[in-house]
Amino acid sequence: MAGTIVASVAGRVFDVGVRRGVSTQALTQVLRRSRRSLTDDARIPVARLYDGFALCMRQTQDAGFPLQAAKEIALEDYAVLGFALMVSESADQAFGRLARFGHLMTDSGSWRFKAETHQLDWVRFGERTLGHRAANECAVAELVNGLRRAFGSRLRLRGVRFRHAAPAQLSAHQRFFDAPLRFGQPTEGVDLPADMLAMPSQLKNPAMSRFFGAVLDRRAAKKQPVSAQLKEVLAQQLSSGALTARELAQRLGTSERSLRRSLAAEKTSYRVILEDVRRTTAHELLEAGHSVTETAFLLGFSETSALSRALRRWRC
């Protein structure tokens, strides 16, 4: 599955494309949405964004088009996540939020921070089409824009990396990034200054940061797959005995029928998840030095022999 992305990003690409002479009708056709429907409360398949970029790149014949689009995409376009990044108290906190909550804006790729090398990598798999490459350039450029907004002239990038080959014309990229550019690399992203994590943001606001951080936590919890939510509930109450499907559904705020349907859609079931939680927890308890009897009690088995049979089945 290629994934989706918040529609407001496609809206910005739409706007820049139209200003550069791409027809509204053509963009509406490839994005399959009217401009007014491309808002931050809607999502579109990321493949349509790729198609939009490819159309604009071909019609403008401008290698710098993704950078122009990035200039139009503000942190505010990413709603709560954007505001949380803006008011973060430090680069460290912002990077952590970007990595943890980025899926709320797109599940087509993710940012990964390597503290030991002071690198932020953008990871998005898929065929390296023209639209895919342009969207990745735009993502990296958006990040740089956001960093400059938060840290101003103090920010001096050590380098910018891309997996694809360099375009024939590099002047737009050189002006935009103002840092060493490397193409054909194994990863793409930015190389940050060593003192970046300690830098306070110019936009930091501790009270607003706590508020938006709490909102992100709630939204991320809602986005968790039902199977992951079920694992958490089971892990918390194993020693009290297994809950019925109805009781589990109530804990998760849904009906028993909806719970079974959701698990089936994820190609799993209550029994499979219970077995997985028990097996994982058994490994942890036994390795921590608990006896088989203690482990049986903590896992909710009716007797030690039941755990012993399970251990043979799991080959612990």
The token duo for 75 is 């942190």
DSSP string, 163-226: SSPPPS--HHHHHHH-S-EE-S-SSEEEEPPTTGGGPBPTT--HHHHHHHHHHHHHHHHHHS-H
Q: How far apart are the first and last CA of the chain?
A: 34
Sheet (strand 159-161) strand order: 110-114, 119-123, 188-191, 159-161, 181-182
Determine contact, residues 190/146, Cβ cutoff 8 Å: no
Q: Is the pLDDT of residue 40 over 80?
A: no
Asked if residues 177 and 144 have their Cβ atoms less than 8 Å apart, the reply is yes
Q: By C-alpha distance, which of 129, 122, 108 is closest to 186?
A: 122
Query: Residue range 102-115: average pLDDT?
Result: 83
Output the pLDDT for position 295: 82
Question: For 11-32, how does the pLDDT look when each residue is reduced to its tens digit (9 = 90+)?
Answer: 999 999 999 999 999 999 999 9
**What is the reported pLDDT for 48?**
93
Residue in the block written with tokens 């939510």: 229
Largest CA distance in the chain: 74
Residues 6+ away with beta carbon under 8 Å from 264: none
What tokens does 293 get? 């009897």
pLDDT of residue 243: 65
Residues listed for the chain: 316
Backbone dihedral region for residue 287 (phi beyond 0: left; psi -120 to 50: alpha; all else: beta): alpha
> Residue 268's closest CA among 225, 236, 233, 214?
225
Q: Is residue 1 over pLDDT 50?
A: no
CB atoms within 10 A of CB 240: 8
State the number of CA atoms in the 13 A half-sphere of 12 facing the CB: 23
Residue type, 2: A
pLDDT class for 236, splitting at 50, 70, 90? Answer: low
Residue 313 pLDDT: 82
Residue 181's contacts (CB-CB under 8 Å, 6 or more residues apart) are: 159, 160, 162, 166, 170, 173, 174
Span 55-103, pLDDT tens digits: 999 999 999 999 999 999 888 888 888 889 889 988 888 888 888 888 7
Q: Is residue 237 predicted with pLDDT exceeding 70?
A: no
Is residue 68 a contact partner of residue 56, using CB atoms and an 8 Å limit? no
Phi, psi of 306 (to 5 degrees): -65, -40
pLDDT at 240: 56
- 152: alpha, beta or left, given left = phi > 0 and alpha = psi -120 to 50? left
What does the domain layout of the chain look like in residue ranges?
Answer: 4-208, 224-314
DSSP code for 205: -
- Token pair in block for residue 299: 């896992």
Q: Could you list the beta-strand ranges (E) of 117-225.
A: 119-123, 159-161, 181-182, 188-191
Q: Are 182 and 140 in contact (CB under 8 A)?
A: no
Q: Which fold does the domain 224-314 belong to in CATH?
A: Arc Repressor Mutant, subunit A (1.10.10)
